[in-house]
Structure formats: C-alpha cells, structure tokens
Amino acid sequence: MAKPCHKASSTLSHNVLVTYPTIKGSIGVTILVDLVGGYYDAGDNVKFGLPMAFTVTLLSWAAIEYGEKIASAGEYVHAMEAIKWGTDYFVKAHTQSNVLWVEVGDGETDHYCWQRPEDMTTSRRAYKIDENNPGSDAAGETAAALAAASILFRKTNPHYSQLLLHHAQELFEFGDKFRGKYDESVEVVKGYYTSVSGYMDELLWAAIWLYKATEKEEYLKYVLENAYDFGGTTWAMTEFSWDVKYAGVQAIASMLLMEEKHKKHEVILEQYRSKANHYICACLNLNNASNDNVDRTPGGLLYIRQWNNIQYVANAAFLLTVYSDHLLATNQKLQCPKGEVDSNEIFSFAKSQVDYMLGSNPMNMSYLVGYGPKYPQRVHHRGASIESYKENMGFIGCTQGFDNWYGNPKPNPNILIGALVGGPDRNDQFRDARGNYEQLEACTYNTAALVGVFARLYDLE
Ligand SMILES: *[C@@H]1O[C@H](CO)[C@@H](O)[C@H](O)[C@H]1NC(C)=O
Ligand SMILES: *[C@@H]1O[C@H](CO)[C@@H](O)[C@H](O)[C@H]1NC(C)=O
C-alpha cells in the first residue's frame, strides 16, 4: 500500500532467497520453497505476511463469533475458503520450526511497475525470519491466525485443524524465544508495514488465541504473567489495527472474566477489562479527556489518520459489535467516564459507522465497491485498473501499465466487488482518482473486519 515509485532498488540481504516459481531465464536460481498462494495486502503485487495474517485472524474471529449468521446468509463456505487460502499459505511459509517466510516481493521494486499479476516481471524475492533474524510480531500474528482458524476447522476437518494448531504453537514458541521486531530483520518491509507498536502485543495476542484454541493453562498464564510487562494492562488504546492488537487482547481477556473458572485470575483480568473499556469508551467519545477519545469527521466517521483511515473504522466496528454482544449475553452495561451505555447503544454506534461507510455520508458515496448507486470507480488496484487477461491476452509491460492504465482518467475496467477503500479525509471529502492511493486503495484487512459486522447486521433483517 504505497505510491508507485519509479526508483529501482537492488538491496540484497543475507536472508533472501528466490521463490518458486522462478522467472524464466534467470540464472543462479534455486527452487527452495513453494510460496504460491496467499494474498497481496492491497492494490500492488507484494505479499506482506503481517497484514495477511491479521486479515486471517479477523476473518476467523468473525466466523467463530458469527458463523451461524454467516451461514444463514449463505456465505459460510466462502468465508472458510477465504480463511483456508490464507492458512494453506502460512503452513507452506513456515518451512522449519524457527523459519517463517514473511514477504514475497518488495515495495520498492514492485512500485516501479504497474502490471497485472499475470504479467508481473518484478522481483519475487522472498524474505524470512529465523533465529538470527527474529520477528516476534510476524510470528505472533501468524500464530494467532492459525490458532483462530484451527477452532473453525475442528469439526469439519479435524486433521487440518490439528495441523494449524501445531504450526501455531511452534510459531508462538519461535516468536517468544527469539525476540525482535521483524522489520529489523527484513528491512525492505520498513515504510510499508513497519511494526511501529513492536511485538509484545502480538505475543499476547498469539497466546490468548492459543488459549482459546487449546484451553491449555500455559497460554493463559503467559497472558496473565506478562500482562504488565508487555503493556497488555497498561496501554490505553484508541486504535485497533494490523499493527496494534492490544485492544483485541484486552477485549478477549475481559470476556474470559465472565467464566467461573477464570474468577481466580480476577485481579489481572479486571485490569485488562478496564483497558478494553477504555477503547470502547474512546470510540463512543465517552472518555473524559479528548485525547483519550477517537476524533470524528464532521459527518461522524471515526478518524485516526489520513492514510486508509477506514481500516480503523472497520476494525472498531467489529470490536464494538463483538463487545456489545458480550455485554448483552452477560447482562452487563458499560461504565464510561462520561456515562453508562448498554449493549444496544454500542451496537447502534457500530451500525452508524457501517451506514456511513455504505453511503450515509456527506459525499453520498459507498466506500464498499459494488455496493449502492455510487461507489469508487478508480480503485488503486492493478488487476482492477488494467483490462483483464480475458479481454487482452497480450503482455502489458512494466511502465506500459502506468502509461495506458494507471494514468487513464476513465473508471477501472474491472469492478473490485467487496473492496473497502481507504475512504474520506478528516473533512469527509473524497477524490476518486487512481493516484490518490491514500483514499482509493483497498486492503484485505479493511473488508475482513466487516464480515462479522455484516453477518450480525444481516441477522437483524
Ligand atoms: C471524569 O470526569 C468526571 C466529572 O468531572 C469525574 O467525576 C470522574 O472522576 C472522571 N473520571 C476519570 C476516569 O477521570
Ligand atoms: C447528497 O445527497 C443529499 C440528499 O439527496 C444532497 O442534498 C447532497 O447535495 C448530496 N451531496 C453530494 C456531495 O452529492
């Protein structure tokens, strides 16, 4: 998710290998690891492991919470396929206990070209983390994704579920034992998916998902014993995103508190709960200090930051929805510094954010592509912005894509149905131009967050 950049780079690093399939004609290439599959993060042709894993964690969480509702909408099989497309890839990318491939391609060389994936001529070099080049954040998030997905496959495909769980446990151990930020090991990811918040949130996140998947005390113990040192019970958040998972950890930990068997851990779980409440109250504008609340646009959309702001809104809508259902099920209300709210009010607020995203906003624009009478026509996405292979079987070269398609003011030839674009600026303004990547790029984790919310809303109908 970055601007096309016409600067070629040839950085080499010791933990770099070329992946299968190799580019025809290249020399000195060894087929070492099969990394076919997985997802690009957004509109370009780089596979970034960290946001890919977060996408799969979110989708899995949605299917765990709202599986029946997704099924009643006829989408459960699709959701499971989408999850498995990710987990199959993670299993392949985890080639040894302490090795995980976390990126294929790189932002710099990728942005030199604007090509359909079918024509891609850019570097497919792959990057890994290992014992000497740690990446606890990437390992932790991948472990969380696999653990969450293993819960879903337990009934329908127990063997696969076990396989996922096995990889999740190993990855968590690897991330915990060899500590470090993955962007220090895989420097090409810097500026694209830098782990700004560090890795402690992902380690807690992995542990709590492993606890949910296994019910093994050791994982709960990890979440409790590291609660303070890792910031789980000290960080008061206003953001939940591919980088920062504290709010998610805090929400899940507070839900554990309601179960009798966890009462003995009440002290620490209460601390988690107070921080979970902080996040929910922040979204509702019910914390005392304004910098403890999330800003809003004049039209009422939560506003965190300019670039792809909608991701934070979608993530918040999901967390609020899950939390409101938890309060409803346990017959609780939420005490915020500026007042008490019930589950209905929290869910209504989440719905208002979804309504905004779908068209109830000053631009009358649905930011979900394919939905409603007016939606973005020039999504910053290579496949969508260039004629499909079916229409044009010729080769579209590296810069030819820029000349003929990227710079073309016409709407995209392909409609990327279901893509949730970055959305409006802090004043609700939106300019539908392909080069406006901050507003027009759609990321997998934007849409993933809405799956559960849509399922919950569908149920109301
Ligand atoms: C918030 O403000 C109210 C009213 O001024 C005050 O009573 C309350 O203690 C404050 N709460 C927090 C958490 O600061
Ligand atoms: C949005 O719709 C409202 C009501 O139909 C209309 O008054 C307003 O001018 C529209 N705004 C834009 C930017 O199209």
Residue nearest to atom 12 of ligand 1 (CA): 337
* C-alpha 365 – ligand 2 centre gap (Å): 10
Decide whether any atom of ligand 2 lies within 6 Å of the 364 Cβ: yes
Which pLDDT score, from 0 to 100, does residue 459 have? 80
Examine the pLDDT at 10 and tell me if it is beyond 50. Answer: no
End-to-end CA distance of the chain: 35
Decide whether any atom of ligand 1 lies within 6 Å of the 121 Cβ: no
* C-alpha 303 – ligand 2 centre gap (Å): 22
SS3 99: strand
Residue nearest to atom 1 of ligand 2 (CA): 364
Instruction: Please report, rounded to a whole number, the percentage of residues in the chain having pLDDT higher than 90.
Output: 92
pLDDT digits (tens, 9 = 90+) for 372-419: 999 999 999 999 999 999 999 999 999 999 999 999 999 999 999 999
The bound ligand whose nearest atom lies closest to the alpha carbon of 281 is: 1
- Please report the DSSP string for 299-338 in residue order: TS-EES-STTTHHHHHHHHHHHHHHHHHHHHTT--EEETT
Decide whether any atom of ligand 1 lies within 6 Å of the 288 Cβ: yes
d(CA 436, CA 370): 19
pLDDT digits (tens, 9 = 90+) for 143-186: 999 999 999 999 999 999 999 999 999 999 999 999 999 999 99
* C-alpha 287 – ligand 1 centre gap (Å): 9
* C-alpha 338 – ligand 1 centre gap (Å): 7
d(CA 199, CA 245): 10
Examine the pLDDT at 8 and tell me if it is beyond 50. Answer: no
- Ligand 1 mutation pick, 288, 293, 334, 340, max ligand atoms within 8 A of CB: 288
Q: What is the pTM of this model?
A: 0.93
Relative to the CA of 363, which ligand 2 atom is closest? 13
The bound ligand whose nearest atom lies closest to the alpha carbon of 278 is: 1
Length of the chain, in residues: 461
Average pLDDT over residues 276-291: 97
d(CA 409, CA 108): 25
Place of tokens 């849509």: 454
Banded model confidence at residue 20, pLDDT cuts 50, 70, 90: very low
- Structural domains in the chain, CATH included, are 11-460 (1.50.10.10)
Decide whether any atom of ligand 1 lies within 6 Å of the 337 Cβ: yes
Residue nearest to atom 7 of ligand 1 (CA): 337
Strands 47-48 and 100-104: antiparallel
Of 171, 192, 290, which Cα lies nearest the Cα of 243? 192
Tokens of 426: 């802090």
Decide whether any atom of ligand 2 lies within 6 Å of the 363 Cβ: yes
Which pLDDT score, from 0 to 100, does residue 30 have? 55
The bound ligand whose nearest atom lies closest to the alpha carbon of 335 is: 1
Examine the pLDDT at 29 and tell me if it is beyond 70. Answer: no
* C-alpha 361 – ligand 2 centre gap (Å): 9
Question: Higher pLDDT residue, 32 or 313?
Answer: 313
The rounded Cα 393 to chain-centroid distance in angstroms is 33
- Residues annotated as catalytic are 380
Tokens of 139: 């390992």
